[in-house]
Amino acid sequence: MAFSISDAFVAERNAADAGALAEDYAALGRSLARRGIDIEAITTEVAAFAVAVPTWGVGTGGTRFARFPGPGEPRGIFDKLEDCAVINQLTRATPTVSPHFPWDVVSDYGELKGLASSLGLGFDAVNSNTFQDQAGQAVSYKFGSLSHTDKAVRDLAVAHNVECIEIGRKLGSTALTVWIADGSNFAGQSNLSRAFDRYIDAMKQVCAALPADWQVFLEHKFYEPAFYSTVIADWGSSFAAATELGPQAKCLVDLGHHAPNVNIEQIVARLVRYGKLAGFHFNDSKYGDDDLDSGSVDPFRLFLVFNELVDAARSKGPGFAPAYMIDQSHNVTDPIESLMQSAIELQRSYAQALLVDRKALEAAQEANDALFAHRTLKAGFVTDVSPILGEARRRSGGAIDPLGTYRASGYRAHKTKERPPVEGSRSGIV
C-alpha cells in the first residue's frame, strides 16, 4: 500500500500550531482594523486563491550541465499526481495540475482523469512540446517547429498541438499553452518576417481545432534555446499574434521570460487593458529563464504583478480570471517543498496586494503625490500576512505549517523506498 499523509497526522500537527496562530491572527486582525481593513474578508479571498502545479515541476530539474536526480523521484505521471496531491493536501492552494505532452502521455486518459480526481485534483492548461524530437519522429524540430521552413515539419507540429487539445478534452482541460523554441542563432540564418508569417499560418490551423469553450495561451520568451532571434520573443510579438489569431488566443506571461529589469507589471497592465492576458507561468529569476522558486529573488516584483491583478479584478469584475500556473525547475531542493513554498509565496503576494488602500492610492496618484502613492502601495508589501495564510489553510483543511508537516511526515523517505530509481527522466532538463 502506497504511503500517504493522513488527515489525522495533519490535524495533530495543526493542534500543536493552532494556539500561536490564533494569537498572531487576532493581533494582525486588530492592526488591520486600525487601517480600516476587515481581516476576515482578506482571509476569504486568500482561501479562494488557486494556482496550478506543473507535472514536470515535481521531478528534479537540471541545467545544461547536469541533472542530479533526487531520492524518491516520480517515475511517471501517476507518481507525479501523487506528489501534486500532497502539495494541495497541505497548502490547499493547488487543486489543479498542468500536464505536458508527450512527457505525460498515457494509454488511458479516462483512467488518468479518474486517478487525479480521486486525489482531489483536476487538470489545468495542457502544454504542447515541439521543442524536442520524439523517438521515431519522421522530421526534426532542430530548425524549428510551427515556423519551420519545411511544411512537413510545420504540419507535424500542428498535428501535435491538435492531439494535445484532444488529450486535454479527455482530461477536462479548457486551454492549450503553446511555447515554441523556434528562432535562430546567427544573424541572417532566418528571415524574421517570414518565420513569423509561417508561425501565424500554423497557429491558425491549431486555433481551428479549438473547441468553442477553449483558449490558446501564447507564451513568449526572449531567448533560449535560440540565441540570436526567437520567433515569439516578447509580449509585442505575442500580442500581435494573439490579435491576429482571434478572441480564443491570449498571451501567457512567464515571469522568467523577460530581460532583467523589464517592467513585467506594466506588460500585465497592457494585456489586461486589451483583454489579452491569458495568465502566468510563475517563477523567479535573477538573470534569465532561471526558473527559480516564486518570490525567492524579487518578492517585491511579484507583489507588483499581483497589485496589477487586484487592480484589474476590481475594475473588470468577476469575468476577469487569468490562469495561474507555476513553471519552475528545482535543482537543489525537494520539488514538493519548493512547490509548496512557491504556492505560499504567491498567496502572500496576493494577500499583500489585497491590503493596498486603493482609494488612498488613487487620490495620491491624482494629486501627483509620488511619495505618498509609493508609501500607500508599499504598506501592503511590508505587512506580514503570514497569519492570514496560515488561517486560510487551517480553515480549508490544510496544514498551518505545510513544510514542517511535510518533513515530519517522512513522505520523501517512504517514496524513496517505494520508487526505485529509473534510468533517465522523460521530463529531463526543463
Q: Which of the ranges 36-44, 151-159, 246-254, 374-382 carries the binding residues for Mn ion, by CB under 5 A?
A: 246-254
d(CA 144, CA 46): 41
- Residue 27, classified by CB atoms within 10 Å of its CB into exposed (0-12), middle (13-18) or buried (19+), is exposed
CB of 56 to ligand PSV, least distance (A): 6
Q: Which of 124, 327, 391, 401 touches Mn ion by CB under 5 A?
A: 327
Is there binding between residue 254 and ligand PSV (CB under 6 A)? yes
∠ CA 224-225-229, rounded to 5°: 70
Residue count, binding to ligand PSV (CB under 6 A) = 10
Q: Which of 13, 281, 330, 415 touches ligand PSV by CB under 6 A?
A: 281
Is there binding between residue 281 and Mn ion (CB under 5 A)? yes
Is there binding between residue 220 and Mn ion (CB under 5 A)? no
Residue 14 or residue 128: which is nearer to ligand PSV going by CB? 128
Measured from the Cβ of residue 16, the count of other Cβ atoms closer than 10 Å reads: 12
Is there binding between residue 220 and ligand PSV (CB under 6 A)? no
Q: Which of 60, 91, 94, 127 touches ligand PSV by CB under 6 A?
A: 127
Residue 110 or residue 225: which is nearer to ligand PSV going by CB? 225
* Angle between helix 77-91 and helix 402-409 axes, rounded to 10 deg: 130
322 preceded by a cis bond (ω within 30 of 0):
no
Is there binding between residue 73 and Mn ion (CB under 5 A)? no
Residue 281 or residue 330: which is nearer to Mn ion going by CB? 281
Q: Binding string to ligand PSV for residues 176 to 205, with x set by CB under 6 A, is what?
A: ---x--------------------------
- Of these partners, Mn ion, ligand PSV, none, which one is at the site of residue 430 (CB under 5 to 8 Å by kind)? ligand PSV
**Which residues make Cβ contacts (< 8 Å) with residue 356, sequence separation at least 6?**
307, 310, 376, 377, 379, 380
Is there binding between residue 327 and ligand PSV (CB under 6 A)? yes
CB of 236 to Mn ion, least distance (A): 18
Is there binding between residue 265 and ligand PSV (CB under 6 A)? no
**What type of residue is 354?**
L
- Beta bridge mates, 52: 325
Residue 14 or residue 285: which is nearer to Mn ion going by CB? 285
Question: Residue 394: which H helix or E strand, with range?
Answer: helix 386-396
- Beta bridge mates, 60: 330
Write the CA distances from 430 to 48, 259, 292, 299, integer angstroms.
Answer: 29, 19, 12, 23
Residue 357 grid coordinates: 488602500
Residue 76 grid coordinates: 511517471
∠ CA 384-333-301, rounded to 5°: 40
Q: Which of the ranges 1-9, 107-115, 157-165, 327-335 carries the binding residues for Mn ion, by CB under 5 A?
A: 327-335
- Residue 197, classified by CB atoms within 10 Å of its CB into exposed (0-12), middle (13-18) or buried (19+), is exposed
Sites for ligand PSV among residues 54-73 (CB under 6 A): 56
Is there binding between residue 221 and ligand PSV (CB under 6 A)? yes
d(CA 358, CA 352): 12
- Of these partners, Mn ion, ligand PSV, none, which one is at the site of residue 289 (CB under 5 to 8 Å by kind)? ligand PSV
**Interface residues toward Mn ion, by CB under 5 A:** 254, 281, 327
**Interface residues toward ligand PSV, by CB under 6 A:** 56, 127, 179, 219, 221, 254, 281, 289, 327, 430
